[in-house]
Homo-oligomer: A and B are copies of this chain.
């Protein structure tokens, strides 16, 4: 029962710190300092650093899925929505000065083969997002805007992991140039 600190706020802080720095670079003390809580409270809320990170991923997975569902409810054609969605993600990363990419991609790459619980949480978030993207792509296929050469889920996975691939290039070049190039090619790929 909530006393002084709020678990969701701590997870939110963890999201920002982990997204920018990765898992092994960040120490518990950095999170305590950033969130303004003492260590006792942290280990009251969370069993371990891994458990904390799992919950960060889960909370982000849920809130991002909700945001996506809302985004795809805008009044536009399915293909236009997909285009706007990825354009928006690229814009966000530019505003972020190319510092972070996606938490789930970062955690998957850095810890996916090292810690089972982190892998599971990352995978579940990813798949939950793919459901939403596949749904809008399916609508585009039904309306004839999007290719039926592959299933909606295959297209969603192909495009979204494609974006993840560009994050490595983005971080290293500190530029959106390659993401824009990827965008044009990917959007052409899914067009009917």
Contacts and interface: CB of A to CB of B under 8 A. Distances in A.
A182 B161 contact: yes
Contacts of A126: 169, 172
Interface string A63-105: 0000000000000000000000000000000000011110011
A151 to B, nearest CB: 10
Contacts of A100: 113
Interface of A is mostly: helix
Interface string A143-173: 0000001100010011001111111110111
A174 B105 contact: no
A181 interface: yes
A105 B109 contact: yes
A122 B172 contact: yes
A9 to B, nearest CB: 25
A185 B162 CA distance: 12
Contact of A24 (B24, B174, B182): B24
B25 A185 contact: no
A108 B171 contact: yes
B168 A164 contact: yes
A114 interface: yes
B185 A150 contact: yes
A168 B105 contact: yes
A149 B38 CA distance: 58
Contacts of A23: 24
Contacts of A24: 22-25
A-B residue pairs, 9 tightest by C-beta: A165-B165, A112-B171, A24-B24, A108-B168, A161-B165, A112-B172, A164-B165, A113-B171, A123-B172
